[in-house]
Each structure stands twice: as C-alpha cells, then as structure tokens.
Amino acid sequence: MADKAVHRPLNVASPHQKGADVKALQGQINKQFAHLKIDREITVDDDLGLETFDAAKQVARSLGAVGPTMSKFKRHTISEGAQRLIRGRERTAAEKIAGTLRKPYREALRKRYAKGAGEKAIERAMPYVGVTEHPAGSNWGPEVSKFITFTGYTGPVFWCGCFACWVVVKLGGANIPSRIRMGYAPYITEDAIAGRNGFTAVPISKGRAGDVVCLWGGEHVVTLREDVEPGAAYIKTIEGNTSSGDGSQSNGGCVALKERSIGDVDRGIAARPAWT
C-alpha cells in the first residue's frame, strides 16, 4: 500500500500487515522515543510485527492515551486515534493530565532501555564494519589513517589497537590518558592488571560490550561487541586489521565482526575502560 496517511486500524495478524502507513508510524515511534528520552529504536521496515506493536503501545501510554485509544491495544490493535497521537496530533486535556500522571511509567521505560557507555560505543562503531586499507596491505587509507593518527601515531602501523582506541575513546568517550599505549596489546594487558591508564582488569567471563581484549600473547586487540554469556566458550567482537574471511586475523586489513575462543584471551582478562 502506498498511502502514508492514517487510514485504517493496524492489527497484529499473520501474515503481518504492511504498508507505507506502517513505515510512517514506525519512524514517528522512534522520534517519540527520542523526544521522551527513552533509549529505544525499532526497525523501520513497513512490517507490523510485535516489536512495532509493543513500541506503539509504550509511546501511546507515555503520551497519555486514554479511553478507546488505549483500550484497543488489549485487542492487539493500534487504533487510528493512537496512530494520530503517536504521529503528533494535539493531545486532549485528558491525555495531558494522564501523561503527567504517567511520569513513573516513562522513568521505568528509560531505566529498562538505558544503554551503558560500552553498548553505545559499539552501536556507533557498527557502521565501520567493512572499512579496508587503501591500498591493500598498506596499513593506511582514508579511514584507517584516522584510527592510527587519533591513537597518536604519524604513519602506518598495525592498527588493531588503534581501532579499539577509536571505538572506546572517540566513539565511547572513555578516559584513557595515554591513547598511544592502546596501539600495543601488551601495554593494554599490563595497564589493566595494574589499574592504570584508565583500565581495570575483569575476568573475561564477566566481560561487557565495550571492554578491550588482547589475544594470542599480545598479537591482536579486539573490542567486545556483546556481553560475555555465562559459560560461553567464545566472545563476540568488533575488530580492526583483521580479515573478513580466512585471511590473516591480526593483519588482515579490514574492520570485521568475529567470534574468538575464550582460550585465546591473554591472561584470561578483559580491560575495562573508565567510561565518563
């Protein structure tokens, strides 16, 4: 359907309802989450699934929806009134009053969806996946040179630690006084164990998104992109100067997502940055 306007109730059904109106609602849901300072964002794909329905219900309730506008959610329906409310129509007096009374609900949503600094850093780092050296094998290039010079070097170097520095300091705001020490994996491990240069050591089993990890006896530096699950044998990472396939894992020339064995982690620790 090409109609972006509100012109029908939206129901959770199988198959899913689709259309330009669904996509427009999804986009406005994300804008309302940002306006309400709730750190949640849903997929904008014109497909009405449970994610969109639940988010619409959260926004409508946060804005003060009352009466049929709110009660129809119990029948898995986003009414036209709810859609218009979410899409920015003027709230009624009753909705304004209800919205004021629902401040604790909004606070609970903020707490539920609040992301740690490490999670935010990883989220900001994801668009860099696929960045490569130019020319190949040069340890340099338009994007790679930014990682390297930000860390403190003036020319081409193995840049896995430089990318980790870019993620946690540039994108995440971590307080690392000597950035250039992140360019050398053994220094990261030493600093974490000693509790210096903005790092503390935590067991890898307690690793969180945004922690920095060194592998293979100081050969490679990675950043955890997810918390380590209890009993996990592997860690999920985002890392620079690796290969997207089966090539060199510590000088492969690109930014890629990987899974690494916990047994490869130096000293069994993750270096946790001091987030500001």
Distance between CA atoms of residues 55 and 136, nearest Å = 44
* SS3 per-residue string spanning 7-22: CCCEECCCCCCECHHH
Q: What pLDDT, on a 0 to 100 scale, did the predictor assign at position 2? A: 73
So where are the chain's domains? 10-111, 117-273
pLDDT at residue 164 above 60?
A: yes
Q: What pLDDT, on a 0 to 100 scale, did the predictor assign at position 60? A: 98
Q: How far is CA 30 from CA 111, 120, 193, 275, in A?
A: 17, 17, 41, 26
Cα angle 149, 198, 153 (rounded to 5 degrees) comes to 15
Q: Taking the CA atoms of the chain, what radius of gyration do you get in angstroms?
A: 23
pLDDT-based confidence at residue 114 (cuts at 50, 70, 90): confident
Q: pLDDT tens digits for 8-35? A: 999 999 999 999 999 999 999 999 999 9
Q: What is the mean pLDDT of residues 83-91?
A: 98
pLDDT at residue 158 above 70?
A: yes
pLDDT at residue 1 above 60?
A: no
0.85 surpassed by pTM: no
Q: What is the mean pLDDT of residues 71-98?
A: 97
Q: Which residue has the tokens 């945004």?
A: 210
pLDDT at residue 6 above 80?
A: yes
Question: Which residues are within 8 A (CB) of 195 and not within 5 positions of it... i.e. 6 or more apart?
Answer: 201
Note whether 37 and 60 are within 8 A (CB).
Answer: no
Name 201's bridge partners.
271
Q: What pLDDT, on a 0 to 100 scale, did the predictor assign at position 31? A: 97
List the single range of 43-47, 184-188, 256-260 with lowest mean pLDDT.
43-47
Q: What is the mean pLDDT of residues 59-83?
A: 97
Mean pLDDT estimate for the chain:
96
CB-neighbour burial class of residue 73 (10 A; exposed 0-12, middle 13-18, buried 19+): buried
Q: What is the mean pLDDT of residues 208-236?
A: 97
Q: What pLDDT, on a 0 to 100 scale, did the predictor assign at position 245? A: 86
Q: What pLDDT, on a 0 to 100 scale, did the predictor assign at position 14? A: 93
Q: If you count them, how many residues does the chain have? A: 276
**Which is more confidently placed, 218 or 39?**
218
Q: Comparing C-alpha atoms, which of 115, 116, 127, 137 is closest to residue 238?
A: 127
Identify the CATH assignment for 117-273 out of 3.30.2420, 3.90.550, 3.40.1000, 3.90.1720.
Answer: 3.90.1720
